[in-house]
Amino acid sequence: MSMKSILNKLMRNEKGQVLLITLGFLLIGGLVIVPALDHMYTGLKATQVQEKRMNEYYAADAAVEDAIHKIISSHAPLQALDMNSSYVYNLADPVNGITSISTNVTKRSLLDDIMDPSEYKLDQPHEGWLGFGAPLETAQTEDYIEYSCNITLNNTGSGKRMLQTLGVFFSPFPGDENLIVGPSDIVYSGNTTEGELEAGSPETKLTPGGFVFLWRWELNDGPNFEIGDIGSLSFTFRIYDPEWEHSTFFSFATTKEQDISLITSHPVPHKWLIEANAAGTKIRSSVIEDVVGLDILTWEVR
């Protein structure tokens, strides 16, 4: 039998197999293409949702930045606010096509994060009673930076005063409370004595964006200061991050005469809570404002 005859016979015996193979490929393609298209559609929708969410985030971010600008530029409605009061407004211009962008700015005292407002009275005439200079850097290694601090108290008022609490605030927060070591090497002098400190005092308290070293004396058993009496307290502390440096700092104390009064080494910084809402995407930020500028403490997306 010739080769040509053999090939013709093989071809005649395979009639219809191409159709079966084609149908098989169509079946496999149908099973694969539909899920693939569905996956592509889902990915496209996810991208659109992510893009929408990002536009909303940037719009809310712009609202927070606008509020910060108003704070820095002493915007009249904000300056007129009483403590714990709010100013609500909408951005005048759309951002990323979003027209409804609202901002709520609340004015608070930074001390609200440290002490209960019922523990003291504001606006008492004791300027010059408390002194606290800039912390002095005393050591720096590849592991930590160390500072030395000194607080002075001087009763320049009228009548005897009894010290109840004494605190020092620092910002920024180094990121981990375990990086804060101190206060250490504490020295009391003059009328400032260790006396009847509460158990666990001094303590380290964390606040949004900062931390506080806080001394508390037992009620009615704190150090006494007659008119003209002077006392001081010195200490050191370490931050186990050699890149850390303080930004805002101040000292504060409460004293008892007929009531509890507050004294500070610097004007107590205002804490501004900013809440911006852009089409359901919210950013909540807190900043503090003092005589040297403004620090952003927190920035949260909700």
Instruction: Count how many residues are written for the chain.
Output: 302
pTM of the model: 0.69
- Percentage of residues of the chain with pLDDT beyond 90: 33
Contact 132, 251 (CB under 8 A): yes
Report the pLDDT value the prediction gives residue 135, as an integer from 0 to 100: 94
Domains identified in the chain and CATH numbers? 1-113+269-302 (no CATH), 122-197+211-264 (2.60.40)
Report the pLDDT value the prediction gives residue 149, as an integer from 0 to 100: 96
Task: Determine how β-strand 210-216 pairs with β-strand 145-154.
Answer: unpaired
Among the listed residues 252, 288, 256, the one whose alpha carbon sits nearest the alpha carbon of residue 272: 288
Report the pLDDT value the prediction gives residue 20, as an integer from 0 to 100: 59
pLDDT tens figures, 31-49: 666 665 665 655 555 555 5
**Averaged pLDDT, 218-245:** 92
Report the pLDDT value the prediction gives residue 123, as an integer from 0 to 100: 52
| For residue 51, pLDDT beyond 90 | no
| For residue 230, pLDDT beyond 90 | yes
| For residue 11, pLDDT beyond 60 | no
* Backbone phi and psi for residue 227, each to the nearest 5 degrees, phi listed first: -60, 125
Q: Say which DSSP state 121 is in.
A: B
Q: Which band of pLDDT confidence, cut at 50, 70 and 90, is reported for residue 161?
A: confident
Average pLDDT of the chain? 81
| For residue 290, pLDDT beyond 70 | no
Only one residue has tokens 């609340």, namely 106
List, in order, residues 6 or more apart from 302 with CB less than 8 Å away. Answer: 281, 282, 283, 284
Report the pLDDT value the prediction gives residue 241, as an integer from 0 to 100: 96
pLDDT tens figures, 74-91: 889 988 888 889 999 998
Report the pLDDT value the prediction gives residue 242, as an integer from 0 to 100: 95
Quickly list H helices, 73-102. Answer: 76-79
| For residue 236, pLDDT beyond 90 | yes
Give the separation between CA 109 and CA 129, rounded to whole angstroms: 20
Sign of CA dihedral 23, 24, 29, 32: positive
Q: Which band of pLDDT confidence, cut at 50, 70 and 90, is reported for residue 139?
A: very high
Give the separation between CA 122 and CA 155, rounded to whole angstroms: 18
Report the pLDDT value the prediction gives residue 243, as an integer from 0 to 100: 94
Residue 75, amino acid: H
Number of Cβ within a 10 Å radius of residue 114: 19
Report the pLDDT value the prediction gives residue 121, as an integer from 0 to 100: 62
| For residue 1, pLDDT beyond 90 | no
